[in-house]
Amino acid sequence: MAPAPPLPPPQRLLVESEWGAFVDTFGRVMLEWSQRAGLTLEEAADFTGAMLELIVAEFRRVAGDPELRFRPWLKYVTHAAWCKLMEALVGDGESEPTPIVRLLVSIDAHDELLRVLDEESVFQRRRAILPRIRMATDSTEWEAFYRSVLEGLSPSDVAAMMQTSDLAVHAAIHRVGHQLEDELRRWNEQF
């Protein structure tokens, strides 16, 4: 597994390299989501581009907040960008919106996009946390966790392989898992 860099605090997204990483991660999620929603690649790219632009605009408005944490920030700016874009797409309401606009302008779509983006941010955090915990964990304990949880082997197989009891493997899974979840919680509180 290639370790993922930690997600930057929102304030640092003004740095171009980190903005690029943000686009690679969350832009990709938006592209894939909008394609799954039925947009063509061209349309999905336009949608993603507009959303990213609006996210930047929203970000600038709230960047000064020192208490800003990534996950709520992402939800907020995505929501704000979504609302503005949909407003632009629907226009003055005099003309009939196209099917694509009708598809996008729905609460379901809004909620779904926010959900996948939030899932992605948690996923990225998990990727960043794994190597940290791995370095801080006893090697035998990590191996038991690695083989059973990350590689998907059954605890009894792992126990036979490591010449230990399967209860010891279960305990190792619990201990390492607890550390991981603990770390994830700390990150969420911190960032």
Q: Does 68 bind another protein (CB under 8 A)?
A: no
Distance from the Cα of residue 185 to its chain's centroid: 15
Q: Residue from 6, 8, 9, 27 that binds another protein (CB under 8 A)?
A: 27
- Minimum distance from residue 118 beta carbon to another protein (Å): 11
Contact segment (CB under 8 A) with another protein among 63-71, 75-83, 117-125 equals 117-125
CB atoms within 10 A of CB 38: 12
Residue 64 interacting with another protein (CB under 8 A): no
Does the footprint of another protein cover residue 111 (CB under 8 A)? no
Residue from 116, 179, 188, 191 touching another protein (CB under 8 A): that is 116
Q: Is 5 left (phi over 0), alpha (psi -120 to 50) or beta?
A: beta
Smallest separation, CB 141 to another protein (Å): 9
By CB under 8 A, tell whether 131 contacts another protein: yes
The two structure tokens encoding residue 102: 């009708």
Alpha carbon distances (Å) from 189 to 68, 134, 136, 150: 11, 21, 21, 25
